[in-house]
């Protein structure tokens, strides 16, 4: 990021100085824009409901977010491994998370998990997003439930 | 009775603010009398809003459950401190806190601003009053905190247990003081645009307010980060969540503003840009407070969210921000531009700083709003997470950190880059040496770690090199050097300490990201686990009652690599009133590093325990504390007093207003 040596030369006109500064600004802005666009293409994570996972053939291993409701009576803990089923009422996706789940994680509640699908159809979560508030229902989950016709507003509030 | 008094006081404050706004904008040319009236109005607004705020606090402290807000957010068994902080742990109460801070800043301008030209003072106070009127009106008409409930229930529903923490008592007031403090810069910018007069004196008045707000915001964000770190039990300290980004953007813009106001003050340049930044910074603060609250963006940290008021909030934001930019578009051209300057100079370096910071704000803004836009346009739900921000923000910060130490070494107007580089050779060599040494000892777990270390050390040592250089250490006798060091202006110390703090924070981030270790295991009382040389022994597990919760308490003994032992407690609490569980992690600090223990829900007598070793993680927050200290130090400098700086005894070179 050092300035070109020529800039230090005396006798730069006002116009040249202005041009040098504008060129510098332009280069940084162009680089930043490129960076943002590349990152937006490669680094964003798509959100899927269980129905979409079944219908859209999500590539194995691709980082995604899965959102829905933790199916009743599906949460089984074996040591530090948690198995549960995420449902949107229409379809179910089995999921696994190793570690300690957030306090407000429970059956019948909304959940958003980050992770990827395995070849066996099991979703391995690397992170289960916590909520701070028992009333909070992720907007993505609400939309997914609406899409599958399972949305009952009185449950959420 | 006091509730109604509070309600009435807020209504009165709203009325006075409205009148001040109209009177101020109508008669700003009328000289001292109108300025005096608006000053008194500003102080009156502060007293009235303080009464309203005190009324709410009193209702919470005395557990007056005829107040709907207290019913929903308090409980008689709650410890006193959480009864008080519970006032702002919800939408309505936090609005009152926000307005209280807003009018407090307004009153401070009125009290300290007597030396300001009367037209400028009038316009600044009128704009502050406009903001007060807008947000007090919003509170009164859509989210009345003084609503009563009849019949009054015997007991409250309690506050969300995660909020029953000292963090709630500290974090929102600091954060709001930061956000709202930038309203002063905003008002100064609006005043400059309306009066069409902007000069170096303007920058001198704006800079202390920027510094004060920036200091609060720095502490507020750091406190929020530490709170989330210990309370949420994820062991993370930053998630690039919309709420965090919303507080980070005004910080970045405010940091840029600090530096551009400096250029304007010293060189009478960058005027329009500084005005623009003032508007942007407060706009981002408003966005930070309200966009996340409108329910449009989902965040894990939002508490006081209320989607029903979303449209009103958005209209209000559009009005304030849109109005300011409309005025800017209309009037910016009429402000006289300052001179140009050589790219290699102190001001050139400061422009580079502004360029990178502003671009970083843009990148964070795009990442935060992109999911919204995509959802609205295409209907695809995506999330933009840490990878996006790490890539874009990291790539923008790396060059900024690389050039940062050069800035203070360059002279104003025209500087010599070679001699600056020569003076930094020692810092550079030391940084390279330590980065290589630590990478060799610690092992390179992620490839960017050595670069991160290098940048962190470079910035920290560069700041020290600046002090060494200015005291001519090693080139003149030591005693003489020390005298020079002590005699340096406080602003020079403040620059060095703030930059050193940035280096420290960077080092903390790099170290904990690269060398953190983690273990999730099943552990029963009597068993122990080992991680990074630390032995964690699970001593016992009991159920213990707390004031308004029941705790499942795990007692642990940690044996450090050196052999020292410490006892610690990690528990899971179930709150009686709400039945909500929370996890309280056990955190033990060793030097700058921490061991972090989290206890899982018990399952048939087995316990899952998650243990982290986080090397040098406390440096992240220590660095921010250094930055805030630097802000305070700079404010104590004679030249930087809040309000109008006194004229120096000897005549100043540039003509002051």
| pLDDT for B538 | 95
| pLDDT for B387 | 86
| pLDDT for A152 | 59
Closest-approach residue (CA) in chain B for A140: B381
Least CB–CB distance from A140: residue in B348, B381, B598: B381
Q: Name which of B318, B342, B209, B158 is nearest A24 in CA terms.
A: B342
Least CB–CB distance from A29: residue in B343, B359, B520: B359
Q: Which of residues 2-41 of A touch B (CB under 8 A)?
A: 2-3, 7-8, 12, 14, 17-18, 20-21, 24-25, 28-29, 32, 35-36, 38-40
Q: Name which of B102, B17, B114, B20 is nearest B53 in CA terms.
A: B102
Which residues neighbour A9 within 8 Å (Cβ) at sequence distance 6 or greater? none
| pLDDT for B298 | 57
| pLDDT for B329 | 93
Considering the domain architecture, whether residues A30 and A71 belong to the same structural domain is answered as: no
Residue numbers in A near B234 (CB within 8 A) = 130
Is A75 within 8 Å of chain B by CB? no
Considering the domain boundaries, does residue A74 fall inside one?
yes
Distances, alpha carbon A104 to alpha carbons A68, A134, A135, B238, B322, in Å: 15, 7, 10, 20, 40
pLDDT band at A155 (very low <50, low <70, confident <90, very high): very low
| Cα B386 from Cα B367, distance rounded (Å) | 10
CB contact under 8 A, A35 and B387: no
Domain of A20, in residue numbers:
10-42
Considering the domain boundaries, does residue A18 fall inside one?
yes
| pLDDT for A2 | 46
Q: What is the pLDDT of residues B365-392, one digit of tens each?
A: 999 888 888 877 887 778 888 889 999 9
Residue numbers in A near B344 (CB within 8 A) = 3, 7-8
CB contact under 8 A, A40 and B610: no
| Cα B147 from Cα B367, distance rounded (Å) | 39
Considering the domain boundaries, does residue A149 fall inside one?
yes
Which residues neighbour A138 within 8 Å (Cβ) at sequence distance 6 or greater? A67, A110, A112, A129, A131, B298
Q: Where are the beta strands (DSSP E) in B495-640?
A: 517-523, 528-531, 534-545, 549-559, 565-575, 581-584, 586-590, 593-599, 607-614
Is residue A34 within 8 Å of A93, Cβ to Cβ?
no
Considering the domain boundaries, does residue A2 fall inside one?
no
Identify any residues that bridge with B612 across adjacent strands, giving them in sequence order: B518, B596
Considering the domain architecture, whether residues A20 and A68 belong to the same structural domain is answered as: no
Closest-approach residue (CA) in chain B for A105: B581
Considering the domain boundaries, does residue A4 fall inside one?
no
Considering the domain boundaries, does residue A5 fall inside one?
no
Considering the domain architecture, whether residues A34 and A73 belong to the same structural domain is answered as: no
The angle at the Cα of A34, spanning A33 to A36, to the nearest 5 degrees, equals 65
Distance from CA of B526 to the nearest CA of A (A): 17
Considering the domain architecture, whether residues A79 and A24 belong to the same structural domain is answered as: no
Is A96 within 8 Å of chain B by CB? no
Residue showing tokens 């005693």? B479
Q: Which of residues 558-617 of B touch A (CB under 8 A)?
A: 572, 578, 580-583, 598-601, 603, 606, 608, 610
Query: Is A48 annotated as belonging to a binding site?
Result: no
The angle at the Cα of B19, spanning B15 to B20, to the nearest 5 degrees, equals 115
Specify whether the backbone of A94 is left (phi greater than 0), alpha (psi in -120 to 50) or beta. beta
Of the residues B348, B608, B609, B612, the best mutation for testing chain A's interface (the one with the most A CB atoms within 10 Å of its CB) is B608
| Cα B376 from Cα B378, distance rounded (Å) | 6
Strand order in the sheet with B534-545: B528-531, B534-545, B549-559, B565-575, B581-584
Considering the domain boundaries, does residue A3 fall inside one?
no
pTM score, two decimals?
Answer: 0.91
Query: Is A115 annotated as belonging to a binding site?
Result: no
Considering the domain architecture, whether residues A104 and A140 belong to the same structural domain is answered as: yes
**Continuous segment of H or E residues that includes residue A22:** helix A14-42
CB contact under 8 A, A28 and B355: yes
Considering the domain boundaries, does residue A143 fall inside one?
yes
Is B80 within 8 Å of chain A by CB? no
Considering the domain architecture, whether residues A60 and A109 belong to the same structural domain is answered as: yes
Considering the domain architecture, whether residues A23 and A69 belong to the same structural domain is answered as: no
Using the predicted structure, report yes or no on whether residue A6 has a pLDDT greater than 50: no
Quote the tokens at residue B71. Answer: 């019913």
Q: At A115, which CATH number?
A: 2.40.50.140
| Cα B314 from Cα B624, distance rounded (Å) | 32
CB contact under 8 A, B598 and A35: no
pLDDT band at A130 (very low <50, low <70, confident <90, very high): low
Is residue B391 within 8 Å of A35, Cβ to Cβ?
yes
| Cα A7 from Cα B414, distance rounded (Å) | 11
| pLDDT for A37 | 87
Residues (pLDDT < 50) of chain B are 643-657
- Structural domains of chain A, count: 2
pLDDT band at A69 (very low <50, low <70, confident <90, very high): confident
CB contact under 8 A, A138 and B232: no
R_g of chain A, CA atoms, integer Å:
24
Is residue B555 within 8 Å of B537, Cβ to Cβ?
no
Which residues neighbour B407 within 8 Å (Cβ) at sequence distance 6 or greater? B346, B349, B350, B353
| Cα B554 from Cα B370, distance rounded (Å) | 43
Considering the domain architecture, whether residues A53 and A115 belong to the same structural domain is answered as: yes
CB contact under 8 A, B302 and A132: yes
Q: Name which of B338, B351, B354, B340 is nearest B199 in CA terms.
A: B338
Distance from CA of A137 to the nearest CA of B (A): 9
Considering the domain architecture, whether residues A33 and A62 belong to the same structural domain is answered as: no
Least CB–CB distance from B298: residue in A1, A101, A138: A138
The whole-number average pLDDT for the span A130-155 is 62
Is A146 within 8 Å of chain B by CB? no
Q: Name which of B165, B162, B281, B293 is nearest B217 in CA terms.
A: B281
Residues in chain A: 157
The count of CB pairs under 8 A between chains A and B is 138
Considering the domain architecture, whether residues A66 and A139 belong to the same structural domain is answered as: yes
Is B359 within 8 Å of chain A by CB? yes
Least CB–CB distance from B381: residue in A40, A129, A143: A143
More confident position, B623 or A4: B623
CB contact under 8 A, A12 and B600: no
Considering the domain architecture, whether residues A120 and A85 belong to the same structural domain is answered as: yes
Please give the full DSSP string across B260-300, using - where no structure is assigned.
HHHHHHHHS--HHHHHHHHHHHHHHHHHHHHTGGGTSS--S
CB contact under 8 A, A14 and B340: yes
Considering the domain architecture, whether residues A68 and A84 belong to the same structural domain is answered as: yes
């Amino acid at each position: 990021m050092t300035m070109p040596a020529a800039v230090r030369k005396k006798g730069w006109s006002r116009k040249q100085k202005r041009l040098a500064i504008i060129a510098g600004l332009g280069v940084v802005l162009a680089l930043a824009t490129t960076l943002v666009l590349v990152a937006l293409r490669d680094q964003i994570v798509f959100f899927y409901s269980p129905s979409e996972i079944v219908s859209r053939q999500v590539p194995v291993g691709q980082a995604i977010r899965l959102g829905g409701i933790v199916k009743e009576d599906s949460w089984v803990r074996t040591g530090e491994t948690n198995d549960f089923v995420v449902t949107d009422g229409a379809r179910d996706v089995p999921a696994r998370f190793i570690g300690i789940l957030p306090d407000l994680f429970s059956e019948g509640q909304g959940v958003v998990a980050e992770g990827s699908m395995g070849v066996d159809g099991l979703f391995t979560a690397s992170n289960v997003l916590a909520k701070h508030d028992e009333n909070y229902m992720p907007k993505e989950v609400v939309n997914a439930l609406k899409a599958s016709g399972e949305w009952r507003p009185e449950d959420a509030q | 009775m006091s509730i109604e008094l509070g309600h009435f006081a807020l209504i009165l404050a709203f009325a006075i603010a409205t009148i001040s706004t109209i009177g101020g904008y109508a008669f700003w040319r009328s000289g001292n009398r109108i300025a005096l009236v608006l000053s008194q109005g500003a102080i009156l607004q502060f007293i009235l809003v303080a009464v309203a705020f005190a009324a709410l606090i009193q209702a919470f402290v005395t557990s007056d459950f005829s107040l709907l807000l207290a019913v929903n957010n308090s409980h008689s068994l709650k410890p006193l401190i959480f009864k008080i902080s519970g006032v702002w742990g919800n939408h309505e109460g936090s609005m009152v806190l926000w307005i209280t801070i807003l009018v407090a800043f307004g009153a401070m301008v009125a009290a300290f601003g007597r030396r300001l030209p009367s037209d400028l003072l009038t316009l600044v106070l009128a704009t502050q009053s406009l903001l007060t009127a807008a947000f007090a009106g919003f509170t009164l008409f859509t989210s009345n905190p003084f609503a009563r409930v009849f019949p009054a229930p015997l007991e409250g529903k309690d506050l969300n247990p995660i909020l029953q923490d000292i963090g709630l008592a500290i974090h929102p007031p600091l954060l709001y003081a930061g956000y709202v403090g930038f309203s002063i810069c905003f008002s100064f910018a609006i005043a400059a645009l309306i009066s069409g007069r902007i000069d170096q004196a303007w920058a001198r008045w704006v800079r202390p307010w920027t510094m004060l707000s920036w200091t609060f915001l720095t502490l507020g964000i750091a406190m929020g980060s530490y709170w989330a770190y210990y309370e949420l039990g994820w062991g993370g300290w930053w998630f690039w969540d919309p709420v965090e980004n919303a507080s980070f953007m005004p910080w970045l813009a405010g940091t840029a503003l600090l530096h551009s106001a400096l250029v304007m003050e010293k060189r009478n340049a960058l005027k329009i840009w500084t005005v623009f930044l003032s508007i942007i910074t407060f706009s981002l603060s408003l966005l930070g407070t309200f966009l996340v609250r409108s329910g449009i963006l989902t965040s894990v940290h939002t508490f006081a969210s209320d989607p029903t008021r979303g449209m009103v909030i958005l209209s209000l934001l559009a009005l304030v921000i849109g109005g300011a930019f409309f005025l800017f578009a209309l009037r910016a051209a009429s402000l006289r531009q300052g001179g140009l300057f050589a790219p290699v100079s102190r001001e050139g370096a400061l422009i580079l700083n502004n360029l990178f910071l502003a671009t970083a704000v843009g990148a964070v803004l795009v990442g935060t709003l992109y999911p919204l836009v995509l959802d609205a346009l295409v209907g695809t739900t995506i999330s933009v997470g840490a990878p996006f921000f790490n890539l874009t923000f990291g790539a923008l910060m790396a060059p900024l950190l690389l050039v940062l130490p050069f800035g203070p070494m360059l002279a104003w107007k025209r500087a010599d880059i070679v001699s600056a580089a020569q003076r930094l050779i020692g810092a550079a060599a030391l940084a390279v040496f330590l980065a290589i040494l630590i990478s060799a000892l610690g092992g390179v777990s992620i490839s960017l770690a050595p670069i991160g270390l290098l940048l962190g050390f470079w910035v920290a040592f560069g700041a020290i090199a600046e002090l060494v250089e200015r005291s001519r250490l090693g080139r003149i006798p030591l005693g003489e050097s020390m005298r020079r060091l002590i005699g340096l202006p406080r602003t020079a110390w403040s620059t060095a300490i703030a930059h050193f703090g940035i280096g420290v924070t960077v080092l903390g981030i790099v170290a904990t990201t690269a060398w953190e270790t983690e273990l999730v295991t099943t552990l029963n009382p009597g068993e122990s686990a080992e991680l990074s040389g630390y032995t964690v022994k699970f001593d016992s597990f009991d159920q213990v009652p707390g004031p308004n919760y029941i705790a499942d308490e795990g007692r642990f003994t940690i044996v450090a690599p050196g052999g020292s032992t410490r006892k610690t407690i990690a528990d899971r609490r179930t709150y009686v009133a709400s039945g909500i569980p929370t996890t309280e992690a056990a955190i033990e600090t060793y030097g700058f590093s921490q061991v972090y223990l989290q206890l899982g829900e018990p399952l048939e007598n087995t316990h899952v325990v998650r243990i982290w070793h986080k090397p040098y993680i406390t440096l992240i927050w220590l660095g921010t504390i250094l930055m805030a200290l630097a802000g305070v130090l700079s404010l104590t400098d004679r030249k930087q007093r809040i309000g109008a700086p006194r004229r120096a005894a000897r005549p100043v070179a540039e003509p002051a207003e």
